[in-house]
Amino acid sequence: MKKVVKFGGSSLASAEQFMKVGKIIQADEARRYVVPSAPGKRNSADTKVTDMLYATYALAKDGKDFSKDMAFIKARYQEIINGLKLDLSLEKEFDEIAVNFKKKAGENYAASRGEYLNGIIMANYLGYEFIDAATVIFFDEDGNFMAEKTNDVLSEKLKKIEKAVIPGFYGALPDGTVKTFSRGGSDVTGSIVARAAKVDVYENWTDVSGFMVCDPRIVDDPQAIDIITYKELRELSYMGASVLHEDAIFPVRKEGIPINIKNTNAPEDSGTWIVENTCQKSKYVITGIAGKKGFCAVGIDKDMMNSEIGFCRKALQVFEDYNISIEHMPSGIDTMTVFVHQSEFEQKEQEVLAGLHKELQPDMIELESDLALIAVVGRGMKATRGTAGRIFSALAHANINVKMIDQGSSELNIIIGVKNEDFEAAIKAIYAIFVEVQL
């Protein structure tokens, strides 16, 4: 049995947290490859080291004195080193970083040092080998992640190393310059390492015991999700779930490796399992509910639209020409509605409308803004009758007007459009009918 364990910033924010992590790793021989984030917040008023690095680099870039800010960052690491009683000095590394900041080595380099330094501490603490991610994770000239090259090099390297620490969040461009993933990208590194090492499980340790059925800011103390498929998670994450970076599922999914989200502060909790497939039923008919506010519906009407070949293509081309992504597209016989992100659409609204008129000669175009989309997701829906009925009667009882309904033939999710102001009440009502009143 082999595992990759990735620890998020809050799991490594202080020496105390490092000790919890050390215990977790030592408790299981299989935890052979460790991917750390940079130290995160120790409390809600604290600042993440990554943010400190961005701010410090901004001073360096402007040619200002950044020594005080760098000293604060150094102090954060020194506190961890002292707390762990390590015989380790990062003096040389900090001197080098200061030189590179003066040379304006770039934001990516600056931000990546958070993980780099934490990786050195972690390797020293555990007695594991340190592998600089810049030597094994590759991006092309355009900054695209090179999955296959990385996998070839990294898997060869890991074959020869029993136990290693590989810092998260960054890799290198062809000329050796450091490049980071987007924020939260250590999750992606963990997944890449898990694929390359062909492990049995990718454990992703954070400060919550996995995914909740819905956002705890909307429903108090919602139920946890024990097991969720990659497909279900895609439907939910793209609507705003924040526990795991969206791109983290792709490398492990290729190899059929499950992800287990675990809580560093409650390691005995089983957390959430993310799997390719399962015959285990979810506790409730639905697995999760997620959504987002701020959409706009562009309704296009034209008599005989259904028999006009190429109508949809022409309509979509206009949105593509203006670089606007489309969220959903429910249609009727003589109507189609295109849901777009309001913030993207607003600035280009008049050009898009003119383009649609020119290409389609519609009878009418109607706009409705301030809409929210809610995805109700669950593999259990396929086998259950009445799911949609329950959702809509719950919404009707809560006095919520449903503006749009979209269900794909996969029967994995139902998308509902409501007014922004009904968003929270709609999620509460759907949660209540499936989870609280388990009929």
Contact positions vs ligand ASP (CB under 6 A): 9, 37-38, 48, 50, 114, 168-169, 183-187
Contacts of 15 (CB under 8 A, 6+ apart): 79, 80, 82, 83, 84
Q: How many CB atoms lie within 10 A of CB 421?
A: 11
- Shorter beta-carbon distance to ligand ASP: residue 186 or 337: 186
Residue with tokens 């499980």: 201
Three-point CA angle 194, 196, 202, nearest 5°: 5
Q: How would you list the strands of the sheet with 164-165, edge to edge?
A: 129-130, 164-165, 31-36, 3-7, 201-206, 259-263, 272-275, 227-229
Complex with ligand ASP: residue 50 or 151, whichever CB lies closer: 50
The total of other beta-carbon atoms located within 10 Å of residue 411's CB is: 16
Nearer to ligand ASP, 122 or 336 (CB): 122
* Max Cα-Cα span within the chain: 78
- For ligand ASP, the nearest residue by Cβ is 186
Closest CA to 261 of 190, 199, 155, 189: 190
Q: State which amino acid sits at residue 158.
A: L
CA distances from 58 to 41, 101, 239, 257 (A): 21, 9, 32, 39
CB of 245 to ligand ASP, least distance (A): 7
CA 288 to chain centre: 16
Q: Smallest gap, in angstroms, from Cβ of residue 214 to ligand ASP?
A: 24
> In angstroms, what is the minimal distance from the CB of 227 to ligand ASP?
24
Q: Residue 21 or 429: which CB sits closer to ligand ASP? A: 21
| CB closer to ligand ASP, 206 vs 282 | 206
Q: How far is the CB of 168 from ligand ASP (least distance, A)?
A: 5
The residue (of 187 and 422) whose beta carbon lies closer to ligand ASP is 187
CB closer to ligand ASP out of 206 and 337: 206
**Alpha carbon distance, N-terminus to C-terminus of the chain:** 40
> With respect to ligand ASP, which residue has the nearer C-beta, 207 or 359?
207
Helix or strand run (H / E) with residue 1: none
Least separation in angstroms between CB 38 and ligand ASP: 4
CB closer to ligand ASP out of 168 and 362: 168
CB of 69 to ligand ASP, least distance (A): 17
On whether the CB atoms of residues 24 and 31 are closer than 8 A, the answer is yes
- Letter for the amino acid at 3? K
Least distance (Å) between residue 74 CB and ligand ASP: 17
State the minimum distance, in angstroms, from the CB of residue 433 to ligand ASP: 36
CB-nearer residue toward ligand ASP: 172 or 340: 172
CB 49 within 8 A of CB 132: no
Q: Is 426 exposed, middle or buried (0-12, 13-18, 19+ CB in 10 A)?
A: buried
CB of 112 to ligand ASP, least distance (A): 9
How many of the other CB atoms lie within 10 Å of CB of 87? 6
Question: Which residues are 417's β-sheet partners?
Answer: 373, 404
Vertex 233: Cα angle to 196 and 284 (nearest 5):
130
To ligand ASP, the closest distance from the beta carbon of 148 in angstroms equals: 23
Stretch (H or E) spanning 97:
helix 91-102
Q: How far is the CB of 3 from ligand ASP (least distance, A)?
A: 19
- Which is nearer to ligand ASP, 222 or 251 (by Cβ)? 251
Tokens of 429: 């009502």
